[in-house]
Chain A
Amino acid sequence: MNKLYSHIESIVGNVISVRADQVAYGELAEVTSRYGVSLAETIRLEKDLVYLQVFAGSRGISTGDEVRFLGHPMQVSFSDNLLGRIFDGAGSPRDGGPSLTDNLIAIGGPSVNPFKRIIPREMIRTGIPMIDLFNTLVKSQKLPIFSVSGEPYNQLLARIAMQAEVDLIILGGMGLKYDDYLFFKDSLEEGGSLAKTIMFVHTAADPVVECLQVPDLALAVAERFALKGRNVLVLLTDMTNFADALKEISITQEQVPSNRGYPGDLYSQLASRYEKAVDFDNAGSITTLAVTTMPGDDVTHPIPDNTGYITEGQFYLHGGRIEPFGSLSRLKQLVNGKTREDHRAIMDGMIKLFASYRDTLEKKSMGFQMSAWDKKLLQYGELFESTMMDLSVNSSLEKALDEGWGILASCFEPRETGLRSELIQKFWPKAAGQAETTAAVAAKE
Chain B
Amino acid sequence: MSQKSGRIVAVNGNMVSIGFQGNVAMNEVAYVLSNGKRLKSEIIRVKGSEAQAQVYEITKGIRIGDEVEFSDEMLSVELGPGLLSQIYDGLQNPLPEIAQQKGFFLESGVYLKALSRTKQWNFSPLAKPGDTLKRGNFIGSVPELNFTHKIMLPFDFFGDWKLLDIVPAGEYCIEDVIAHVQDQRGAKRDVKMMFSWPVKRAVDCYVERLKPEQPMVTKTRIIDTFFPVAKGGTYCIPGPFGAGKTVLQQVTSRNADVDIVILAACGERAGEVVETLKEFPEISDPRTGRSLMERTIIICNTSSMPVASREASVYTAVTMAEYYRQMGLDVLLLADSTSRWAQAMREMSGRLEEIPGEEAFPAYLESVIAAFYERAGNVRLSDGSCGSVTIGGTVSPAGGNFEEPVTQATLKVVGAFHGLSRERSDARKYPAIHPLDSWSKYPGIMPKEVVAYAHTFLERSSEVEAMMKVVGEEGTSLDDYILYLKGEFLDAVYLQQNSFDPVDASVSPERQKFMFHLVLGILGAELGLKNKDDARAWFYELRQAFLDLNGSAESSELYQSSLNTIRGKLAALNPRYGSEAKKMLLKLE
Contacts and interface: CB of A to CB of B under 8 A. Distances in A.
Considering residues A109, A113, A422, which has the most beta carbons from chain B within 10 angstroms of its beta carbon?
Answer: A113
B303 A268 contact: yes
A300 B104 contact: no
B343 interface: yes
B60 A73 contact: yes
Contact of A120 (B87, B103, B271): B271
Contacts of B45: none
B557 to A, nearest CB: 11
Contacts of B398: 259, 300, 302, 305-306
Interface string B49-74: 00000000011111111000000000
A374 B64 CA distance: 71
A115 B273 CA distance: 9
Given A117-B274, A118-B274, A264-B346, A24 B62 contact: yes
B64 A110 contact: no
Given A118-B274, A267-B343, A272 B64 contact: no
B551 A420 contact: yes
B473 interface: yes
A373 B269 CA distance: 42
A264 B350 contact: yes
Contact of A114 (B95, B279, B353): B95
Given A26-B61, A113-B106, A227-B104, A265 B99 contact: no
Contact of B11 (A25, A109, A422): A25
Contact of B544 (A352, A371, A415): A415
A418 B201 CA distance: 52
A256 B279 CA distance: 42
Contact of B473 (A116, A337, A371): A371
B411 interface: no
Nearest to A273: B304
A25 B63 contact: yes
Contacts, number: 222
A369 B104 contact: no
Given A272-B303, A352-B428, A110 B540 contact: no
Contacts of A47: 9-10, 64
> In the complex, which range does the number of interface residues on chain B fall in?
35 or more
Nearest to A324: B426
B563 interface: no
A22 B303 contact: no
A144 to B, nearest CB: 11
Nearest to A277: B271
B242 A25 contact: no
Contacts of A402: none
B547 A420 contact: yes
Given A23-B63, A275-B303, A256 B350 contact: yes
Interface in A328-379: 328, 330-331, 333-334, 337, 344, 348, 351-352, 355, 362-363, 366, 368-369, 371-374
B64 A23 contact: yes
Contact of A112 (B59, B270, B353): B270
A416 B540 CA distance: 6
Contacts of B468: 363
A119 B98 CA distance: 19
Given A47-B9, A374-B473, 4 more contacts: A45-B11, A113-B98, A309-B241, A418-B540
Q: Which 6 A-B pairs have the closest CB atoms?
A: A300-B399, A368-B472, A271-B303, A26-B60, A275-B304, A258-B360
Interface of A: 21-26, 44-48, 73, 108-120, 140, 227, 255-259, 263-265, 267-268, 271-272, 275-276, 280, 300-302, 305-306, 308-310, 312-314, 325-326, 328, 330-331, 333-334, 337, 344, 348, 351-352, 355, 362-363, 366, 368-369, 371-374, 415-416, 418, 420-422
